[in-house]
A and B are shown apart, each in its own frame.
Chain A
Amino acid sequence: MNVGIGARVKRKEDKRFITGKGKYTDDVRVENQAYAAFVRSPHAHAKVKGIDKSAALAMEGVIDVLDGGQLTGDGIGNIICGWAVTSKDGSPMNMGPWSALATDRVRYVGDAVAVVIAESQALARIAAEAVEVEYEVLPAVASAAKALAAGAPQVHDNAPGNLIFDWEIGDAAATDAALAGAAHVTEISLTNNRLSPNPMEPRSAVAIYDAAEEHYTLYTTSQNPHVARLVLSAFYNVAPEHKLRVIAPDVGGGFGSKIYIYPEEITCLWASMKTGHSVKWTGDRAEAFMTDAHGRDHVSTARIGFDANNRITGFKVDTIANFGAYMSLFSSAVPTYLYATLLSGQYDIANIHANVRAVYTNTVPVDAYRGAGRPEACYLVERIMETAARELGVDPAELRRINFIRAFPHQTPVIMNYDIGDFEANLDQAMAAADVAGFAARKAEAAGRGKLRGLGYSSYIEACGIAPSAAVGSLGAGVGLWESAEVRVNPVGTIEILTGSHSHGQGHETTFAQIVAERFGLPIENVAIVHGDTDKVQFGMGTYGSRSGAVGMSAIVKAMDKVEAKVKKIAAHVLEASEDDIVIEGGEVKVAGTDKAMGWHEVGLAAYTAHNLPPEMEPGLKESAFYDPANFTFPAGTYICEVEVDPETGTVEIVQFTASDDFGTIINPMIVEGQVHGGIAQGVGQALLEQVVYDDDAQLITGSFMDYAMPRADDLPSYNVNHASTICPNNPLGMKGCGEAGAIGSPPAVINAITDAIGNNNLAMPATPLAVWKAIQAAG
Chain B
Amino acid sequence: MTEVTMTVNGRKVRRDVPDETLLSEFLRESLRLTGTHVGCDTTQCGACVVHVNGAAVKSCSALAVALDGAEVTTIEGLAPNGELHPMQKAFNDNHGLQCGFCTPGMIMTSVDMVEKAKAAGKTLTEAEIRHGLEGNICRCTGYHNIVKAVAQAAQEM
Contacts and interface: CB of A to CB of B under 8 A. Distances in A.
Interface of A: 10-11, 13-24, 26-27, 29, 122, 198-202, 250-253, 255, 284-286, 504-507, 670-671, 673-674, 677-682, 704-706, 710-714, 716, 718-719, 742
B35 A19 contact: yes
A505 B41 contact: no
Instruction: Name A's interface SS.
Output: loop
Contacts of B2: none
B3 interface: no
B147 A21 contact: no
Interface string B103-131: 11001000000000000000000110111
B: interface residue count bin: 35 or more
A284 to B, nearest CB: 5
Contact of A714 (B40, B131, B144): B131
A201 B34 CA distance: 13
Interface in B28-73: 28, 32-42, 44-45, 47
B139 A200 contact: yes
Interface centre among A13, A20, A252, A679 (most CB of B within 10 A): A20
A27 B29 CA distance: 9
Contact of B126 (A199, A200, A718): A718
A705 B44 contact: yes
A27 B45 contact: no
26 contacts: A10-B95, A14-B91, A17-B100, A17-B104, A18-B103, A19-B79, A19-B84, A20-B74, A22-B100, A24-B37, A198-B139, A200-B45, A200-B99, A200-B138, A285-B40, A505-B98, A505-B99, A505-B140, A670-B95, A682-B142, A712-B133, A712-B136, A713-B130, A713-B134, A713-B146, A718-B147
Contact of B75 (A20, A27, A506, A742): A20
B139 A255 contact: yes
B139 A253 contact: yes
A716 B101 contact: no
Contacts of B36: 20
B97 A719 contact: no
Contacts of B126: 718
Given A200-B101, A712-B137, A718-B126, A20 B145 contact: no
A677 B102 contact: no
A680 B35 CA distance: 28
A704 B42 contact: yes
A655 to B, nearest CB: 13
A713 B133 contact: yes
Given A251-B99, A704-B40, A674 B141 contact: yes
Contacts of B136: 712-713
Contacts of B34: 20, 23-24, 26-27
A703 to B, nearest CB: 10
A19 B131 contact: no
B141 A677 contact: yes
Given A252-B100, A677-B142, 20 more contacts: A15-B92, A18-B75, A18-B91, A19-B88, A20-B36, A122-B20, A201-B39, A202-B38, A252-B101, A505-B98, A505-B100, A505-B140, A674-B98, A674-B145, A704-B44, A705-B45, A706-B44, A710-B137, A713-B129, A713-B143
A679 B142 CA distance: 7
Contacts of A671: 95
Contacts of B44: 704-706, 710
Given A11-B95, A286-B41, A678 B100 contact: no
A314 B133 CA distance: 47
A122 B25 CA distance: 11
A201 B99 CA distance: 9
Contacts of B145: 674, 677
A711 B102 CA distance: 14
A501 B35 CA distance: 25
A373 B55 CA distance: 45
B88 to A, nearest CB: 4
Interface centre among A14, A27, A504, A681 (most CB of B within 10 A): A14
A502 B137 CA distance: 23
Nearest to B135: A712
Contacts of A505: 98-100, 140
B14 to A, nearest CB: 21
A13 B101 CA distance: 13
B130 A674 contact: no
Nearest to B102: A200
B41 A18 contact: no
Contacts of B100: 13-14, 16-18, 22, 250, 252, 505
Interface centre among B78, B98, B131, B143 (most CB of A within 10 A): B98
